[in-house]
Amino acid sequence: MARSTAPGPEPGPEPFLGHGMGLVPVPPDWPPLRTEEVRRLLARLVGLEDASAARITWHSPRPFAATAVISVPGTGGGEPLRLVVKRHHRAVRTRTSLQAEHAFMQHLAAQGVAVPRALDDGARSAWAEDDFVYEVLELLDGHDLYREARSWTPFTSMGHAQAAGRALARLHLASETYVAPARPHEPLRASAEIISCAGPVAAVAALAEKRPGLAGFLRHRPWRRELATSLGPLHARFLPHADALAPLWAHNDWHPSNLLWSGPRADAQVTGAIDFGLSNLTTACYDLATAIERSAIGWLGPADRRTVRPDLVKALLGGYSSLRRLEPEERAALPHLLPVVHVDYALSEVEYFHAVARSPANAMLAYRDYLLGHLDWFAGPEGTALCSYVEQVVNAGGQA
């Protein structure tokens, strides 16, 4: 799959740098959105009167898509309309996939959950143009406290973790009445399909037959042996619980920088959730395990000095269980799901870096350090201790 060239960046005093796989800013996979490009897109929208005066006020440093905050003059001299525009490569997201994401968000909004509203042209809420697919979202009110933070950055306070747990519980309660099939296989896709199979190595082999980008990376590695060694024992502990978990459409990327806040204080409340790019049919337990995995472990720090925050785990689970009590099968599954919850997504990230972004170094990093490295950490003493602690907390009703 050849990588296409996105529209070039506008001139600026310094080159734009974004978040990479580590702590050092790097050139983005996709050039930043341009003013002319944004204005052309916004002209499609219903009820937007002055798209020609739209201006970009902020470029997101997050990877995988080009994202920007846009200001459009208000009608009659009123307050400017603030929007978010995202440009995805068509190999990563199709118009159909984005509209499935928007349908889930629309359901949550109807249930009272604060999520972005996708704008449309009267017929669709995503647009294909050349090699790219675009979407436009309203900017939610709230303080974006973690806007510059990288994914997997832990919460800065127990109050934030507790509030995030409550917000996740509200989302899951609202999602219980949503019925839709899983999103199709594509790069950067959250799923629990492989880890729920009796034979995960065979499931990966079957997936690779359908995903040439993934197969292209795996064929150069002894991946069957490596995956069996790292995943096998952990998967064997989770598998007896897999079928007992009820399917549920979930966010699947619940971490601090995907939440908006009521203010800058340590006891701020969550006012909204953003970035539903990984939303899909998984389970509530999967979403909760992902929230722990991405916000309570210092993955970006040195491996020999990795920080683990059990206090944040306790606060997150306590907040969650105050609104939605975990079922017995969920309490039994969560400590064993946590070590393997990243597996399906990590494989899709390998595919993205190998076949779309064309970054061999990042593809290897996603495979070696993310997919296998996280498995090996959870099999070690620190990971084992964290899973034991999670088991204690859920069996005490989130209050251990």
Q: Tell me the per-residue pLDDT of 281-293, one tens digit each, with 9 for 90 and over.
A: 999 999 999 999 9
315 has a pLDDT exceeding 70: yes
Residue length of the chain: 400
Confidence label for 4 from pLDDT (cuts 50, 70 and 90): very low
Q: What percent of the chain has pLDDT over 90?
A: 81
18 has a pLDDT exceeding 70: no
Indicate the average pLDDT of the chain.
92
- Residue 1 is predicted with a pLDDT of 36
Q: Which residue type, as a one-letter code, is found at position 84?
A: V
9 has a pLDDT exceeding 80: no
Residue 87, classed as helix, strand or coil, is: strand
CATH 3.90.1200.10 in the chain, residue ranges: 158-395
Q: What are phi and psi of 339, to 5 degrees?
A: -70, -20
- Residue 49 is predicted with a pLDDT of 73
Confidence label for 343 from pLDDT (cuts 50, 70 and 90): very high
Q: What are 55's strand-pairing partners?
A: 71
- Residue 165 is predicted with a pLDDT of 98
| Residue 47: Cβ within 10 Å count | 9
Radius of gyration of the chain (CA): 21
Q: What is the pTM of this model?
A: 0.93
46 has a pLDDT exceeding 90: no
- Helix 310-321 vs helix 381-395: angle between axes, to the nearest 10 degrees? 30
- Residue 11 is predicted with a pLDDT of 43
**Degrees, nearest 5: CA angle 172-134-354:** 85
For the ranges 72-86, 146-160, 354-368, the maximum mean pLDDT occurs at 354-368
Q: Which residues are CB-contacts of 319 (< 8 A; sequence separation ≥ 6)?
A: 161, 162, 163, 164, 165, 166, 167, 169, 398
CA 183 vs CA 186, 187, 387, 391: distances in Å: 8, 11, 30, 31
CB 191, CB 249: distance < 8 Å: no
Confidence label for 116 from pLDDT (cuts 50, 70 and 90): very high
Residue 85, classed as helix, strand or coil, is: strand
396 has a pLDDT exceeding 80: yes
Q: Which helix (H) or strand (E) holds 76?
A: none
CATH 3.30.200.20 in the chain, residue ranges: 35-138
- Residue 3 is predicted with a pLDDT of 42
Say if domain 158-395 classifies as CATH 3.90.1200.10.
yes
Taking the C-alpha atoms of residue 359 and residue 125, their distance in angstroms, rounded to an integer, is: 31
CATH class of the domain comprising 35-138: alpha beta
Confidence label for 398 from pLDDT (cuts 50, 70 and 90): low
Confidence label for 48 from pLDDT (cuts 50, 70 and 90): confident
- Residue 12 is predicted with a pLDDT of 55
**Of 61-65, 165-169, 326-330, which gets the smallest average pLDDT?**
61-65
